[in-house]
Chain A
């Protein structure tokens, strides 16, 4: 009886400890996202300042970017945000196979977005001769910001693939799945940054 009571208390303490550690992890992860937001913001405001102090935009000799393709590619990334949200929801409710399919769809859509960006870069560099170093402020800011974002997407795809493998190995349970929550937060963050980049590079 006493042994059972002690085991119950130890179990309760472990759960309480997990809840406290989880809160700290969440705060730490949100601080990381905020710091990443500051990084992007500094580049975005530098770009906007340079853009508005120049001789018109895009600079003479450079065509407007391909808006229809960018809109399509953006929807691919935004769609991956929706599938990731449903992956988390399905995991929370214990629908394992749905979780796996939605997570796989997110990874595929993320990789698709990267493929689209690679296509756009190829078209710009070889078709229009726009380069990072040789096209002034336009090329430098475009490739720096979209490249930095693309790197984040690449890291996200690797992260989500790791989550999938960890989930298959039974690392996460219905009560303990902070890694999946953090992955969803990160993926939404990457989506939201693209909303801003899509607007400032293609729409205004």
Chain B
């Protein structure tokens, strides 16, 4: 099998798992107060966002544009 297909599939499947876990943790901790909990919430949101980007890259939706021509 083509290694790129394996990598893309792995990125999509594992990415979905990471995104679900991140957003679920964010949902669970939503009402927590204090500086560190608020920092954790921001970090969890960005982690979930990163997982979504990896899923989209795995699905070839982003990251496949041809090289830019420049100014």
Residue ranges of A at the interface with B (Cβ–Cβ < 8 Å): 26-27, 30, 52-58, 64, 67-72, 74-76, 78-79, 81-82, 85-86, 89, 181, 184-185, 188-189, 191-192, 194-195, 198-199, 202-204
B18: contacting residue among A27, A75, A89, CB under 8 A: A75
Contact-residue size bin, chain B (C-beta under 8 Å from the other chain): 35 or more
- Nearest CB of A to B67, in Å: 6
- With A57-B68, A79-B17, A85-B40 as contacts: A71 and B47 at CB distance below 8 Å: no
Contact, CB under 8 Å: A71 / B18: no
Contact with A along B48-71 (1 / 0, CB 8 A): 011101100110001111011111
Residues of A within 8 A of B54 (CB): 71-72, 74-75, 78, 198
By DSSP majority rule, is chain A's interface helix, strand, loop, or mixed? helix
- Nearest CB of A to B34, in Å: 9
Contact, CB under 8 Å: B57 / A55: no
